[in-house]
Structure 1
Amino acid sequence: MVEVAQKNGPPLTLQAMAEHLASGSKPESRHRVGSEHEKFVFRTDGRRPVPYDLDDQGRGGIHALMTGLERFGWTGVYEDNQFGHTLIGLERGGGNISLEPGGQFELSGAPLESVHEICEEIGQHIEEAKTVGRELGLDFLSLGHTPDWSRADVPVMPKGRYAIMRAYMPKVGGMGLDMMFRTCTVQANLDFSSEADMVAKFRLSLALQPIVTALYANSPFVEGKPTGFLSSRARVWTDTDPDRTGMLDFVFKDGFGFETYAAYALDVPMYFVKRNGRYIDASGQSFRDFMAGKLPALPGETPTIKDWSDHLTTLFPEVRLKTYLEMRGADSAPPGRLCGLAALWIGLLYDKAALAAAWDLCKHWEIEDHERLRLDAARLGLKATVAGRTVRDIAKDMLAIAHEGLKRRNKLSAAFTDETGYLAELEDIADSGLTPADRWLELYNGPWQGRIEPIYEAAAY
């Protein structure tokens, strides 16, 4: 590897990149979980998307929503970009609220010890957001894809990196702009204790991610009509950017580890470099060229570990490795299922017996099974099949294993209840064989008589 002296430190090598990932390793006693979820903001009068500033009737938008939340102890996060000194988020106590490309409102929670704490954090955030939202005539929608807005309907938020992504996305996929502006997800972030622990958790969570996609399928409509997919959000991700999305077949091969993932990430084309708080467009350029001092966007400069950390955030596989693991396969959902996602993954990944039992469900699947299941789960939900079994049956087994994992973990609330109750909604879905999307379609084809407008009340937080 060519190494070029760096202005701000020693040359950045593949080994250093892998060590950055490995630096997240921590003893089990320090393992935490973080929950993130996005939601659509809509104007209650007219059910339309909300701009950053005032709308055409002079009513406050996303900026007013964020400033309104400051009364609850949130502090503004600003960015100096082509739009000026711009409020792009909020932070409080280890958590933050971020501004997504189309105004989706995201809570990235603090690393917490239990699902009880996560659910309390989510509940407090939603209550605060709804308090301010009511004053502004705004509400929030718990779906994975906008049900009837066109791409052109959705306003663009004033954040530097999104302008770069917006220009680049159409060059590499057909639905990248839909991903940016018309989808919402919920994810859970979990720790690992060593490289071997990371590998075991990565393989299991990646293999089972389509099962979770099916359980959480909550976006059957686009532009007012059924799409033929129960998770239109997951469908979008199959045509966003093949360089940075997907099922990562190398994760299941012998020898996988931190360096393997670093090598993969190194060859994903860049989006940007951040200097002095501003985003420099490096879309499509090579991080390897950057390491050699030959990046066209910054000739002669070589990257810092912060540049590497930023680059890792521009990869979007179904499970993403940073200094922790991110589970990224679920449509956004109502509060109960937001809590349930963290409970599910904690139950599977933070108990050794559960981890082993869950791996037995999927360890014999072939690479082709993983890729096929990813698309089938988005289209068919719990009715999809893999290796001779239905996704519904696998989901029931997976939830039973997670239930036992949480029971053994025995993290009790103030009312002396464990975390197993947070799986109840998911267990009901698996038992019924009907995803949330199936339920929406029943309403659409029945009482709603082909009208999409009622979903704004039915799916509001």
Structure 2
Amino acid sequence: MAYGAPDGSGGSGQLTEDAAEARVAKRCFRTGPPRRVGVELEWLVHDRDDPRRALSAERLTGAVARLEAPGGLPGGSSLTREPGGQLELSSAPAGSLGGCLASVATDLDVLRQAVGTSGLRLVGRGVDDVRPLGRVLDHPRYRAMESFFARSGPWGRVMMCATASVQVSLDSGDGTGGTSGFRLRWELAHRLGPVLVAAFANSPFWRGRPSGWRSTRQAVWARLDPGRTRTPRGGDPRTAWARYALDAELMCLRRTGADWAAPPGLSFRAWLRDPRGERPPTAEDLDYHLSTLFPPVRPRGWLELRMIDAQAGDGWIVPTAVAAALLDDPLAADAALAATESLAPPGELPATAVWLRAARLGPAAPELGKAVRACFAAAEAALARARVPAGVRDAVARFAERYADRGRCPADDLLDTVRRSTATAHRKETQ
């Protein structure tokens, strides 16, 4: 799903502070009845025979270049590359969950065949703890991003080059006060965030060893610039987001040439007030700045849920279906609000500590496990009411039986495999 045409404030004219706040609020929370659904699938890419082999830009280009062209994928998805060579498959907005899942599945089959022909394979996991850490793409944006995050440690580079997610996109909602209204959908999306982190945690390793987190990916995000990765706080979501966006530091400043590094400590609001020798910012600069903000729920004219670890195989279908059901079905939304009462007081969003607990323990944390089970039950009922294809409902039911109902997540399977291997090796050593 992509930004629509600019609104009436103009793409290249100089901005005032008031105009900037108004533009953010208008563009990022477009209202209307919730109807559309989309999903973005990020995939790690490994050499099929040697997962530890470094990936070159040339090899990746040879594998997927023809699919990146307009119309390159039959289902209408677009394909882009992330800094570390991850591939992102982004659906077109669909009028139904079933339509979205079907079109993405078609395009994913084509993508898998293309990378397989090149001796590569797609890996669905939240963190790549196997392949050497390094940036594959060389672009001024990514150079500036790497430099920005490097000021506070190595984790920005890890996020850029070694993480992958399932990102579900749903309409912002209408102007009513019910579960279809954008204010309550904003609250519910955030309250569901830790539930989705816990249920689908799938990255328990770093550098080949257990990290102590079920979702190491979420732990990495927690170590980054909080002004662009944490949840916006306070009041009406439009006002809170506009304030958050303008107060965030510039990650990069587009210029002619290769150097897009922004002056350290310069927020977009400060740039509006005093350019510090740079050109004055435009509406187009503001739109670009919004693309460098990465909170767990990002408003882009719709709500982009960014907190879910990448899933193995076709496991991406389950979080997409569950998230869509819980936000778009009124009965399921009410049930989800009730199920998440212990995670945040009414009208408030979960604290950072709740997100961290979800990332560390997954559904083994009692209050999160209870919420996960209740939300899956509500989602299954909603999917049945919507007459979603039986294969989708079966996939959600199997996941619930294997994981949610047992207080487990995909990360636990990965950890069990390591524990069994360690126990076997120990037995052999002592025989």
In the TM superposition, what is the alpha-carbon distance from 1:235 to its structure 2 partner?
A: 0.9
Alignment partners' CA distance in 2, 1:380 and 1:450: 26
Listed as ranges, the matches of 1:206-355 within 5 Å are 206-248=190-232, 250=233, 253=234, 255-274=235-254, 280-282=260-262, 284=264, 285-292=266-273, 294-296=274-276, 298-299=278-279, 301-304=280-283, 306-355=284-333
In the TM superposition, what is the alpha-carbon distance from 1:340 to its structure 2 partner?
A: 1.4
Distance 1:307 1:422, change over 3 A: farther
Q: Decide which moves more: 267-276 or 107-116.
A: 267-276
Q: Helix, strand or coil for the counterpart of 2:399?
A: helix
Alignment partners' CA distance in 1, 2:289 and 2:73: 22
Alignment partners' CA distance in 2, 1:15 and 1:368: 23
Alignment partners' CA distance in 2, 1:40 and 1:331: 12
Output one character per residue of 1:264-298: Cα deviation in whole Å (capped at 9) or x when no partner.
11100112244679873325422123334x32463
In the TM superposition, what is the alpha-carbon distance from 1:227 to its structure 2 partner?
A: 1.0
- Which of residues 21, 24, 28 in structure 2 aligns to 1:21? 28
Determine the structure 2 residue equivalent to 1:43.
47
Unaligned runs of 5+ in 2: 1-9, 426-431
- Which of residues 75, 78, 82 in structure 1 aligns to 2:70? 75
Q: Is the 8 A contact 1:192 1:198 kept in 2?
A: yes
Indicate yes or no: 2:13 matched with 1:8. Answer: yes
In the TM superposition, what is the alpha-carbon distance from 1:53 to its structure 2 partner?
A: 3.5
Quick one: which amino acid aligns to residue 113 of structure 2?
T
Determine the structure 1 residue equivalent to 2:399.
426
Unaligned runs of 5+ in 1: 55-60, 77-89, 452-461
Distance 1:447 1:289, change over 3 A: closer
Q: Is the 8 A contact 1:381 1:391 kept in 2?
A: yes
Listed as ranges, the matches of 1:376-395 within 5 Å are 376-385=357-366, 390-395=367-372
- Which of residues 162, 169, 183 in structure 1 aligns to 2:149? 169
Distance 1:135 1:449, change over 3 A: farther
Q: Is the 8 A contact 1:41 1:50 kept in 2?
A: no
Quick one: which amino acid aligns to residue 223 of structure 1?
R
Alignment partners' CA distance in 1, 2:378 and 2:26: 33
Quick one: which amino acid aligns to residue 424 of structure 1?
A
- Which of residues 115, 127, 142 in structure 1 aligns to 2:124? 142
Q: Is the 8 A contact 1:115 1:343 kept in 2?
A: yes
Quick one: which amino acid aligns to residue 26 of structure 1?
G
In the TM superposition, what is the alpha-carbon distance from 1:405 to its structure 2 partner?
A: 2.5
In the TM superposition, what is the alpha-carbon distance from 1:187 to its structure 2 partner?
A: 1.0
- Which of residues 374, 377, 386 in structure 2 aligns to 1:397? 374
Q: Helix, strand or coil for the counterpart of 1:63?
A: helix
Output one character per residue of 1:189-219: Cα deviation in whole Å (capped at 9) or x when no partner.
1002335512111111111211111111111
Determine the structure 2 residue equivalent to 1:191.
171
Output one character per residue of 1:364-423: Cα deviation in whole Å (capped at 9) or x when no partner.
5257963222111111111114xxxx3222101011112222333x2555xxx4853342
Aligned residues: CA RMSD: 2.8
Distance 1:279 1:95, change over 3 A: farther
1 or 2, which has the higher strand percentage?
Answer: 1
Q: Helix, strand or coil for the counterpart of 2:314?
A: helix
Quick one: which amino acid aligns to residue 69 of structure 1?
L
Distance 1:449 1:296, change over 3 A: farther
Q: Is the 8 A contact 2:75 2:104 kept in 1?
A: no
In the TM superposition, what is the alpha-carbon distance from 1:124 to its structure 2 partner?
A: 2.0
Q: Helix, strand or coil for the counterpart of 2:167?
A: strand
- TM-score using structure 1 length: 0.80
Output one character per residue of 1:39-70: Cα deviation in whole Å (capped at 9) or x when no partner.
1111122213553444xxxxxx1111122536
Alignment partners' CA distance in 2, 1:190 and 1:374: 21
In the TM superposition, what is the alpha-carbon distance from 1:309 to its structure 2 partner?
A: 2.1
In the TM superposition, what is the alpha-carbon distance from 1:449 to its structure 2 partner?
A: 6.0
- Which of residues 340, 344, 354 in structure 2 aligns to 1:373? 354
Alignment partners' CA distance in 1, 2:422 and 2:103: 34
- TM-score using structure 2 length: 0.85
- Which of residues 404, 416, 421 in structure 2 aligns to 1:442? 416
Alignment partners' CA distance in 1, 2:327 and 2:56: 39
In the TM superposition, what is the alpha-carbon distance from 1:238 to its structure 2 partner?
A: 0.9
Alignment partners' CA distance in 1, 2:424 and 2:183: 46
Distance 1:257 1:233, change over 3 A: closer
Alignment partners' CA distance in 2, 1:91 and 1:315: 28
